[in-house]
């Protein structure tokens, strides 16, 4: 099991930026592909972005493509989500998650960090 702790959330005005971090511990970080998800009040948890074990491959949901960037530092056991040009509809609790690098679902999740974008 991988333990995940998100940080970096907060309140920001529309058009602003935030960088979320997710620190991993407990297992070899480079054995996992990582994802970011978010859940707005009253809505289901949605996929935002994912990155492979090496950082060489990324994929984004259409809603954030061109505005958000996922990256990772395996030496620091951390995955990041740089969020630019934030919109009020980006307001949600943001979660990172880990899945085995070759196959399998996201089985390990962090506790989430709140992002609020004011108009």
Q: What is the 3-state secondary structure (H, E, C) of 64-91?
A: CCCCEEEEEECCCCEEEEEECCCCHHHC
Q: pLDDT above 90 covers what percent of the chain?
A: 95
User: What is the per-residue pLDDT for 104?
Assistant: 85
Radius of gyration of the chain (CA): 13
Q: Per-residue pLDDT for 89 more than 90?
A: yes
The DSSP call for residue 31 is G
User: What is the per-residue pLDDT for 102?
Assistant: 86
How confident is residue 101, by pLDDT bands cut at 50, 70 and 90? confident
């Amino acid at each position: 099991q991988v333990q995940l702790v998100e940080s970096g959330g907060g309140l920001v005005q529309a058009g602003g930026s935030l960088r979320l971090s997710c620190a991993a511990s407990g297992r070899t970080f480079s054995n996992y592909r990582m994802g970011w998800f978010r859940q707005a009040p009253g809505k289901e948890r949605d996929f935002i972005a994912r990155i492979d074990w090496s950082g060489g491959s990324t994929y984004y949901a259409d809603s954030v493509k061109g505005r958000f960037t996922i990256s990772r530092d395996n030496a620091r056991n951390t995955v990041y989500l740089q969020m630019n040009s934030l919109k009020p509809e980006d307001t949600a609790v943001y979660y990172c998650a880990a899945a085995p690098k070759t196959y399998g679902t996201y089985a390990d999740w962090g506790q989430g960090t709140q992002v609020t974008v004011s108009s």
